[in-house]
Structure 1
Amino acid sequence: MKQVFSLLGIAILLLFAYATFNAMNFGSSTEQSVDDVIIELKRENIPERLAEALMFKTISEQDKADIDYETFVALHAYIDAEFPLIREKLTKEVVNDYSLLYTWQGSNSDLQPVLLLSHMDVVPVVPGTEDKWLHQPFSGDIADGVIWGRGAVDDKLSVFGILEAVEYLLDENYQPKRTYYLAFGHDEEKGGPDGAKKIGELLRDRGVKALYGIDEGGFVIDGSIAGLERDIAMVNVSEKGYVSLQLSVTGAGGHSSAPLAETAVSILSHAVANVSDNKFPVDTSVLTRMGEAVAGELLLYQKAIIANLGLLEPIIEVVAEKNPLLNAFTRTSTAPTMLSGSPKENVLPIFATAVINHRIMPGETIESTMAFVENAIDDERVKVTVINESTDPSPVSSTTDSGYLIITKTIQQVSSEDPVIVPGMLQAGTDTKHYVEVADNLYRFIFTKVDPTENVVHGTNERVEVESYLNTIRFFVQLIINTDESQ
């Protein structure tokens, strides 16, 4: 027995030594030694132009028949009027009637081009919540140094930030070395099938292969939320895939006074419960990558935890079940969202359906997700089918290639707060999925500080501080300059 305890003690000491070694050698940084850059924006009425753009109700309604497409045409005309140098010197194409593609031709065709991506559509305001807005969602109000309205963050902020940056550079007689494509979709909030997808196909057919593309999907946030003293610039290098699976069961029907031992609803209910109870396996690769970026800000015991996530997966598995955010970052998520059965309470259902939404981790696919669900159900009476638009996870973009290094350098140059730059993963979706074939790497980041606890994206009282918006423009100005200087 003493020998057993002795061996156990040695094993624990070796494990402790291994964990400590990992912690001491954990962490990497893409931060570069750079000087701050001051960009003086000279154009007048910059905040007012964005505010006025927010007055255009370019809403992606659930039913396409309810979308006011003429509002998009009006926004196009507004852009033409407010950005005369872009109108004069860039090539503009209207893609599939309502999306925009601008080409800013570079002087050196041997250099790979770059994609500057965004979208013009916004989500609807939830009916009945209008009185909860401090300023009406389409008023275009500027008050107390803040621009208010739907689209102020998602995502007319980027559309007009890019336009203002290019107009600024044109006014400075700047001639880019690389070609820049400004691509603004009109239906990102519906998955982008008619907008960004068509632009991506057009660029693919023209043989475009960009150095990188940058789109929405990450912000600068207060680091104290994660227990850090410095702010965090979340540059998302990947995003989860998306699939909704419909579970359907066909039953005999009949009167509820003489029910069968199992009805379509009871069979379906067991299937939904089985899928919910059988969690997808934990994958700590995203947390590890993010942890490496912030390692310099952590205490030794915190490093020890992050550096040894692989050893801690059984614990993470338990904790993730009770922590939605941790769950989202470590596994393919499972969310039963819809159920339907009999049209009347005393009629046995002939047909019962449920919909389960999954956000798929990189490394998995729609096919593997469906196979996992079918295996969890293990009942031939339940049919599983894919419904609606679905996408596999995006490829994980490089954190060592020039595109990422250019972005991180630019963040450091234009930021007065010196944020920690973290290569994250976006749980939601962006238009970047439609540009995978035309860019070496795709990144999701807007240089704008937001408070994630206030839920301004898609939420009530969407807004952006004027100074934060001006910094967005400065970021895009410097990003273009830095990209041109890179070989």
Structure 2
Amino acid sequence: MTRYEGAQYAHSDLPACPQYPAFNSTSIERGELEKEVQDVVDSSGFFDKSLKRLQGAVQIPTESFDDMGEVGEDSRWDIFKDFHAYLEQTFPLVYSKLNVTTINTYGLLIEWKGKDESLKPHLFMAHQDVVPVLPATADKWKYPPYSAHYDGKFVWGRGVADCKNNLIGILESFETLLEKDFIPERTIMAGFGFDEEISGWHGAKHIADYLLQILGKDSIELIIDEGGLGIQEMYGAMFALPGLGEKGYFDVKVTVETAGGHSSVPPDHSSIGILSRIVTAIEDHPYQPDLTPANPYFTTLQCGAEYGPEMSSWLRKTIKKALKSKKAAKKVANYLADKDVFNRYLMQTSQAVDIVSGGIKINALPEKVYAVINHRIAVESHVSAVRNNIQSLIGSQILPEFPMSLNAWGDISGNTSTSSLGQITLSNFDEPLNPSPTSPYDTDAYKMLSGTIKQVFGEDIVVAPSVMTGNTDTKFYWDLSRNIYRFTPSRIEGRESVHTVDEKLGMKEHIEAVKFYTQMMLNANRS
């Protein structure tokens, strides 16, 4: 089948939704070990220990704030000392038998040396930090946000589902396998940053740089981090949805500067008024949804069409046509975008005005005001496309009405005469990030991930590549591996209210995650 011309289809020789079999034990000895380990994880004693481990982790409020200073200078980092002490006490075999390295004080890199040094390592990732609990919302929680209350089904608390569950689950898997004297063929590593919620520059960035220094580029066979859309029902079937890519990230600062003056003799449009016009123009011209094979969500939909019995016949037919018809793909994109806002932003660049600042006195016209617009860039697009779009929009919608100069990232244009009202400046609010490379789904690494998901969660699970609208710490690891997958191994019904009031995680789902991580480590010996 020929995919439509111009589409960046990386797997044109594959089925539209390839499925790989569940892993099964390859030897009697290995099968016995796997059964023994999984029996331990299934036991009531392990459940009780796991509950206490997870609760203890949640009870330490490792919050990271947007205005954090440098490590060693800002005392708000000090809470991570307590968290490290807790981990060392809780996982004694990990700390006594494996190589545990601290990086930039609070980053953690754990290395379990394998017997075969010719095999590239596997790396499991999570982050130690959590988003802060706003004081104004603390009394809105059903249970105090750092109580880690267990109600018989859920553990409640900030960070329990994002992502101390992943971190504790990985360490529990290490500890359990060490108790059984397991020795991996392949080196297994864990990397835990401590500021993912504020972009990871202090934590994961330093860990990735360290790994690049000691191992080099393309030195890791498989990386698994938090993320993806977990395991959920779609179109009448159960799907596991690992993220094979991430949208880009770009915060644009729009600054308007005018002469100011006394508010008793105002101009027709103050700097705030002009900025408001700019914001309105931007919001009135949103990006449009598009769907191409470059986007892993394209494959998600192909999997839905292939294996989802409850998908409407029209949608199924049109999705399959999209394999070779750009027109059909556009129909699908428009239909899904109109139906659900979440679907929309899997297929288009988003833009959201999140910060506005200007004016300090009620009777004084502000000379300088600004707004910051957050963009999550579609996988087919680029930071430069967003820049060009905003610059063009202001040039066509704003400058004809307001005689101002425009400084767009150092490129000055527009009316620069002395009669100009002032200047509009476009600049980066922070470091922009282009969309990630898309990881393949025909490699041994992906087949291992897919086969382990089916082995742990059920052979009827459809594993469908997907894309993430947000960003993870993996953005620093692109040079270390082409096989980067974002997958939180939890059923969606057991993981609720991430980043908001009443965050909680089902213990049943947490135990399943431990099984997944443990089985991934056992399966790593097979290739």
TM-score by length of 2: 0.81
- 1:457-476 CA distance string (max 9 Å, x none): 11222221112111111101
Of residues 517, 520, 523 in structure 2, which corresponds to 1:479? 520
Letter in 2 for 1:192: G
Of residues 319, 329, 341 in structure 2, which corresponds to 1:306? 319
Distance 1:363 1:86, change over 3 A: same
**Range moving further from structure 2, 93-102 or 70-79:** 70-79
Task: State the alpha-carbon separation in 2 of the partners of residues 319 and 277 from structure 1.
Answer: 21
- The secondary structure found in structure 2 opposite 1:138 is coil
**Unaligned stretches of 5+ residues in structure 1:** 1-24
- 1:367-404 CA distance string (max 9 Å, x none): 22112211111142421101124322111111111221
What residue in structure 1 maps to residue 78 of structure 2? 70
Deviation at 1:417, TM superposition (A): 7.6
Q: Are residues 1:388 and 2:422 paired?
A: no
CA contact (8 A) 1:27 1:296 kept: no
Distance 1:108 1:69, change over 3 A: same
What residue in structure 1 maps to residue 159 of structure 2? 151
Letter in 1 for 2:62: T
Letter in 1 for 2:498: V
What residue in structure 1 maps to residue 252 of structure 2? 245
- 1:167-211 CA distance string (max 9 Å, x none): 111112111111122101111111110000000000011124101
**Unaligned stretches of 5+ residues in structure 2:** 1-13, 26-33, 400-405, 407-422
- 1:407-451 CA distance string (max 9 Å, x none): 110010011483322211111111010111111221100111223
What residue in structure 1 maps to residue 132 of structure 2? 124
Q: Are residues 1:215 and 2:225 paired?
A: yes
- The secondary structure found in structure 1 opposite 2:380 is coil
Task: State the alpha-carbon separation in 2 of the partners of residues 272 and 129 from structure 1.
Answer: 29
Deviation at 1:76, TM superposition (A): 1.1
Letter in 2 for 1:330: M
- The secondary structure found in structure 2 opposite 1:393 is coil
Letter in 2 for 1:445: F
Percentage identity across paired residues of the two chains: 31
- The secondary structure found in structure 1 opposite 2:254 is strand
Pairs aligned (count): 458
**Range moving further from structure 2, 45-54 or 319-328:** 319-328
What residue in structure 2 maps to residue 134 of structure 1? 142
- 1:89-148 CA distance string (max 9 Å, x none): 210111101111111111111111111100111111122322332222111322213222
What residue in structure 2 maps to residue 462 of structure 1? 503
Letter in 2 for 1:296: Y
Q: Are residues 1:418 and 2:418 paired?
A: no
Question: RMSD in angstroms over aligned alpha carbons?
Answer: 2.4
Distance 1:67 1:411, change over 3 A: farther
- The secondary structure found in structure 2 opposite 1:206 is helix
Letter in 2 for 1:149: G
TM-score by length of 1: 0.88
- 1:3-22 CA distance string (max 9 Å, x none): xxxxxxxxxxxxxxxxxxxx
CA contact (8 A) 1:249 1:353 kept: yes
Task: State the alpha-carbon separation in 2 of the partners of residues 206 and 166 from structure 1.
Answer: 23
Distance 1:250 1:448, change over 3 A: same
CA contact (8 A) 1:271 1:382 kept: no
Distance 1:319 1:159, change over 3 A: closer
Q: Are residues 1:402 and 2:444 paired?
A: yes
CA contact (8 A) 1:147 1:464 kept: yes
Distance 1:333 1:398, change over 3 A: same
**Range moving further from structure 2, 419-428 or 286-295:** 286-295
1:324-473 superposed matches below 5 A: 324-378=341-395, 379=399, 380=406, 381-416=423-458, 418-451=460-493, 455-473=496-514
1:37-56 superposed matches below 5 A: 39-41=38-40, 44=46, 45-56=49-60
What residue in structure 2 maps to residue 4 of structure 1? none
Task: State the alpha-carbon separation in 2 of the partners of residues 318 and 416 from structure 1.
Answer: 32
- The secondary structure found in structure 2 opposite 1:311 is helix
- The secondary structure found in structure 2 opposite 1:78 is helix
